[in-house]
Structure 1
Amino acid sequence: MSLLRAKIQDVFNEPACEQNRGKDVKARKKGCSKPLTPGAAAGGCAFDGAKIVLQPITDVAHLIHAPLACEGNSWDNRGAASSGSTLWRTSFTTDLTELDVVMGQGERKLFKAIREIKEAYGPPAIFVYPTCVTALIGDDIEAVCKRAAEKFGLPVVPVHAPGFVGSKNLGNKLAGKALLEHVIGTVEPDDAGPYDINILGEFNLSGEFWLVKPLLDRLGIRVRACIPGDARYFDIACAHRARAAMMVCSTALINLARRMEQRWDIPFFEGSFYGITDTSEALRQISQLLVKKGADPEILGRTEALIAEEEAIAWKKLAAYRPRLEGKRVLLNTGGVKSWSVVHALMEIGIEIVGTSVKKSTVEDKERIKQILKDDNHMFEQMAPRELYAMLSEHKADIMLSGGRTQFIALKAKTPWLDINQERQHPYAGYDGMVELVRQIDLAIYNPIWRQVREPAPWDCQPAVREELPRTKSEAVTLHAVQELAGTTADDFGEC
């Protein structure tokens, strides 16, 4: 437990975070993550955060040392996509029982599970995750992993991020620390070059990074390691030989970026691949960092030529959507890097932002939003479901972009909705991704279903009934009896 406490304290002391630097020593020790309320997941525990960062490493076996319920249904987390191995989608757990805990069989069961994975799958490495139960009973995960690595001849990496230590964001950082201590720098590549870079905090959701990588390939820039999206263990082990790095999600891996800069002199910047302008700026900054690290300055000219070509193609495609979407109002209920990058991307084509959530955003993210929107009146930390529903039902927004948790609020308010979070089915990064995002917004807003669902339901109105004169005496008696039984006459019915 003392080892775990030291690791957590080290993560809290993050000099690269402007918000953390502004605190006094006492406040800095408390960290930036709120402690979890017992019995509440608070949007995801530290174990969940660690799995989010590490599971997209596709050829690694991820072993959960815990009771079965701790693994749950997280085998396909965040919708990350792989171009190779699918081992990461196989769940491994030691499935501890009460008897194992009482009899102290946890460490022995963990060693046995590592051996079985090695013999059955032969992965290049195994990541071991203790959870609340195994951390509390004091299983020495570090010692078991070290012994297994010596016995079986493969890296066995302990990831110390049990759920009770804090939030999902803290788990992200603990995962980055595990990579730094046990993986990065353990293999020396024989093909290092002046155009190698790392991309940190990119998860390749729905294959998004595959829309960006071809742009880098055309510039002769090689992605040494994309952490964690579509990553391989060997690539991450060699990541210390990159010349520059781009950080996509600072709240997740800023500690990893800073430590790599200190240890291996790999400069980094924070950028975004959402939107035309931000994608172009990211490409420029990558090229500029590489030139500072010794690359040929001619790459700057090639970068500008590529940007001009791709921007012209993208704007030509977007021209068809501008008249249909200009002036449309969007409510963005997400967080993190998307709270400002997507805002900027949508405003480029004339869409109005009526609100954006900053619940998971850093201080830097909030400052960017203020610069983009020119004020902070459209920023909200948290909006209750009732307030969201009221805003949408009063037609203050034409569409809501959010995650799956709030989609039913929009559907109840009969308002178009588009998934912008990790469960989405379409990639939105890069130039082509921006065109796809706009196309999906257009399809959602102009879907004819919204006109239909907003009409009164058939059972709320009755069609007009034309009263005809009865042709016989018996027909007149029958009609009068029916109306008397119903308590109405033909005059009571009107058109909808």
Structure 2
Amino acid sequence: MSSFSAKIQDVFNEPACEQNRGKDAKARKEGCSKPLTPGAAAGGCAFDGAKIVLQPITDVAHLIHAPLACEGNSWDNRGAASSGPTLWRTSFTTDLTELDVVMGQGERKLFKAIREIKEAYGPPAIFVYSTCVTALIGDDIEAVCKRAAEKFGLPVVPVNAPGYVGSKNLGNKLAGEALLEHVIGTVEPDDAGPYDINILGEFNLSGEFWLVKPLLDRLGIRVRACIPGDARYVDIAGAHRARAAMIVCSTALINLARKMDERWDIPFFEGSFYGITDTSEALRQISQLLVKQGADPEILGRTEALIAEEEAIAWKKLAAYRPRLEGKRVLLNTGGVKSWSVVHALMEIGIEIVGTSIKKSTVEDKERIKHILKDDNHIFEQMAARELYAMLSEHKADILLSGGRTQFIALKAKTPWLDINQERQHPYAGYDGMVELVRQIDLAIQNPIWCQVREPAPWDCQPAVRQELPRTKSHTATLHVVQEFAGTTAGDFGDC
């Protein structure tokens, strides 16, 4: 077995997952993802998953060693936000052609591209991504990256996650392995302290993490590294000196959290910043972990005081929306951590959940949903577009919360829709984010446009003619018909 195959097999065998530990050896080798359908991307390939995890590292140059289409399909695929550098928004690719493949010019072209990026942009590091084509023709990106790093005097990180090896989730984990092998631990910070933490699996979508970080700042807790949201290379390189870690989406980077715990004694827990209760619980667990790692226990009291203050403010703001939204029915068609964290957040203000999808959710996610809803009838693995449309057109839900791919189903069913996936325009994390989520739901449901679009179109309204029209085609009869219609009133028409 090659070293790359062994690495993939190691990612599947995840001892930090309770369900995985209970499986036999054969089941562990299969992992938690569904088998891929030949020729289908299964919601994203491994390369796409690796790019999702690493691209939000904002000051790094991300170079795709592939034909142009690979970078075109994966560039800027998430609404992550940066507070500074914009280099990550620049698309770099070796743009391999058929001639390059036939003549074996791939590795030479990659080395040249690394040199051009170094001279033109001077980034702190360059990440090089392998893809299906370059992996199949045998380009050794690790050897090229090692030679380029020695030649140009900067880190050049190989990311071995060609699309054909598995699903997007596998690519997430392979990206974590690349950080662990080539980045984390390579820089020794000189300001490490007892209140340093890492946040893993937080992508800072629409600037969500900026709503949470001020809460940690008020507690004196420093985020040593947020991986990957709004991250800098040097912060991730020194992430091994954090005292504790929180995983926001365990399905993506639980392997990274476990191995950092094993190597550098950084305990972790899985939490969520969606909803008032979950945000408060996350702050408590962070403080408790830090105390176990040697921090002053007085932080526990300050944490409770902050939680009480912020919860009171948030509940006061939400009180205005409760009479308008209590009892409203919401259908969620999403997955992962949002499949249970958003459900819990909405139920806190009296919104009824008529259904939530568990696509791409881990076994732990599914167990949480069952515990929250206490009814398996509201949980579905995957809902076909026809079934989703039928449910909405029969008014079984007042609003659909999903990603952009299903928005047109809701619009066709004349049902309000709100984007809660990675393309969303509003941040929903933390206390303020919860208020914003409720505000957006209220705006969508109460929008007067829905009353208008549900009314029959004017051309579908048939006039109720009171007298039988003459059966002659003479000019006099036609004039009589015109006069008859001219004398009608609005009440002479049907339900319209």
Q: Do they superpose with TM above 0.5?
A: yes
Shift of the alpha carbon at 1:480? 5.3
> Residues of 2 paired with 1:403 and 1:426: CA distance?
13
Shift of the alpha carbon at 1:36? 2.7
CA contact (8 A) 1:75 1:88 kept: no
Map of 2:64 onto structure 1: 64
> Residues of 2 paired with 1:403 and 1:452: CA distance?
25
Distance of aligned partners of 1:265 and 1:469 in 2 relative to their CA distance in 1, 3 Å threshold: closer
Shift of the alpha carbon at 1:473? 14
Shift of the alpha carbon at 1:474? 9.4
CA contact (8 A) 2:465 2:492 kept: no
CA contact (8 A) 1:35 1:165 kept: no
Q: Secondary structure at the match of 1:44?
A: coil
Shift of the alpha carbon at 1:33? 2.7
**Residues 250-291 of structure 1 deviation map (CA, whole Å, 9 limit, x = unaligned):** 000000000000000000000000000000000000000000
CA contact (8 A) 1:403 1:423 kept: yes
Shift of the alpha carbon at 1:5? 1.1
Distance of aligned partners of 1:472 and 1:250 in 2 relative to their CA distance in 1, 3 Å threshold: closer
Distance of aligned partners of 1:314 and 1:33 in 2 relative to their CA distance in 1, 3 Å threshold: same
| Residue 167 in structure 1 maps to residue 185 in structure 2 | no
Distance of aligned partners of 1:491 and 1:112 in 2 relative to their CA distance in 1, 3 Å threshold: closer
> Residues of 1 paired with 2:85 and 2:466: CA distance?
70
> Residues of 2 paired with 1:33 and 1:443: CA distance?
37
TM-score (normalizing by structure 1): 0.95
> Residues of 2 paired with 1:240 and 1:69: CA distance?
36
Distance of aligned partners of 1:310 and 1:64 in 2 relative to their CA distance in 1, 3 Å threshold: same
Distance of aligned partners of 1:111 and 1:329 in 2 relative to their CA distance in 1, 3 Å threshold: same
CA contact (8 A) 1:404 1:423 kept: yes
CA contact (8 A) 2:32 2:362 kept: no
> Residues of 2 paired with 1:305 and 1:493: CA distance?
64
CA contact (8 A) 1:483 1:489 kept: no
Map of 2:153 onto structure 1: 153
> Residues of 2 paired with 1:371 and 1:471: CA distance?
71
Distance of aligned partners of 1:114 and 1:302 in 2 relative to their CA distance in 1, 3 Å threshold: same
> Residues of 1 paired with 2:190 and 2:448: CA distance?
57
Map of 2:306 onto structure 1: 306
**Residues 418-475 of structure 1 deviation map (CA, whole Å, 9 limit, x = unaligned):** 0010000000000000000000000000000000000001110145668899999997
**Residues 132-165 of structure 1 deviation map (CA, whole Å, 9 limit, x = unaligned):** 0000000111100000000000000000000000
CA contact (8 A) 2:42 2:167 kept: yes
Shift of the alpha carbon at 1:494? 4.5
> Residues of 2 paired with 1:363 and 1:277: CA distance?
22
Q: Secondary structure at the match of 1:281?
A: helix
Shift of the alpha carbon at 1:73? 4.4
> Residues of 1 paired with 2:397 and 2:481: CA distance?
51
Shift of the alpha carbon at 1:487? 19
Distance of aligned partners of 1:479 and 1:336 in 2 relative to their CA distance in 1, 3 Å threshold: same
**Residues 169-191 of structure 1 deviation map (CA, whole Å, 9 limit, x = unaligned):** 00000000000000000000000
Shift of the alpha carbon at 1:21? 1.1
Map of 1:94 onto structure 2: 94
CA contact (8 A) 2:274 2:434 kept: yes
> Residues of 2 paired with 1:175 and 1:148: CA distance?
20
Distance of aligned partners of 1:457 and 1:353 in 2 relative to their CA distance in 1, 3 Å threshold: same
> Residues of 1 paired with 2:121 and 2:259: CA distance?
33
> How many pairs does the alignment contain?
496
> Residues of 2 paired with 1:133 and 1:393: CA distance?
44
Shift of the alpha carbon at 1:490? 14
CA contact (8 A) 2:185 2:238 kept: yes
Distance of aligned partners of 1:274 and 1:473 in 2 relative to their CA distance in 1, 3 Å threshold: closer
> Residues of 2 paired with 1:387 and 1:133: CA distance?
38
> Residues of 1 paired with 2:276 and 2:90: CA distance?
37
Distance of aligned partners of 1:466 and 1:269 in 2 relative to their CA distance in 1, 3 Å threshold: same
Alignment map for 1:98-117 (pairs within 5 Å): 98-117=98-117
Shift of the alpha carbon at 1:80? 0.2
Distance of aligned partners of 1:456 and 1:119 in 2 relative to their CA distance in 1, 3 Å threshold: same
**Residues 268-317 of structure 1 deviation map (CA, whole Å, 9 limit, x = unaligned):** 00000000000000000000000000000000000000000000000000
> Residues of 1 paired with 2:181 and 2:160: CA distance?
12
Shift of the alpha carbon at 1:3? 2.8
CA contact (8 A) 1:55 1:77 kept: no
CA contact (8 A) 2:402 2:419 kept: yes
CA contact (8 A) 1:146 1:156 kept: yes
CA contact (8 A) 2:80 2:205 kept: yes
Shift of the alpha carbon at 1:210? 0.1
Distance of aligned partners of 1:329 and 1:142 in 2 relative to their CA distance in 1, 3 Å threshold: same
CA contact (8 A) 1:61 1:125 kept: yes
Shift of the alpha carbon at 1:49? 0.1
> Residues of 1 paired with 2:491 and 2:84: CA distance?
71
Shift of the alpha carbon at 1:215? 0.2
> Residues of 2 paired with 1:488 and 1:302: CA distance?
74
Distance of aligned partners of 1:327 and 1:489 in 2 relative to their CA distance in 1, 3 Å threshold: closer
> Residues of 2 paired with 1:320 and 1:387: CA distance?
34
CA RMSD of aligned residues (A): 3.0
Distance of aligned partners of 1:421 and 1:476 in 2 relative to their CA distance in 1, 3 Å threshold: same
Shift of the alpha carbon at 1:77? 2.1
Shift of the alpha carbon at 1:489? 16
Shift of the alpha carbon at 1:38? 2.7
Return 474-483 or 412-421, whichever deviates more. 474-483
Q: Secondary structure at the match of 1:77?
A: coil
Distance of aligned partners of 1:150 and 1:429 in 2 relative to their CA distance in 1, 3 Å threshold: same
Distance of aligned partners of 1:108 and 1:487 in 2 relative to their CA distance in 1, 3 Å threshold: farther
Distance of aligned partners of 1:106 and 1:284 in 2 relative to their CA distance in 1, 3 Å threshold: same
CA contact (8 A) 2:56 2:80 kept: yes
> Residues of 2 paired with 1:406 and 1:473: CA distance?
52
Return 22-31 or 444-453, whichever deviates more. 22-31
Distance of aligned partners of 1:151 and 1:61 in 2 relative to their CA distance in 1, 3 Å threshold: same
**Residues 47-76 of structure 1 deviation map (CA, whole Å, 9 limit, x = unaligned):** 000000000000000000011111114332
Distance of aligned partners of 1:468 and 1:37 in 2 relative to their CA distance in 1, 3 Å threshold: closer
CA contact (8 A) 2:276 2:345 kept: yes
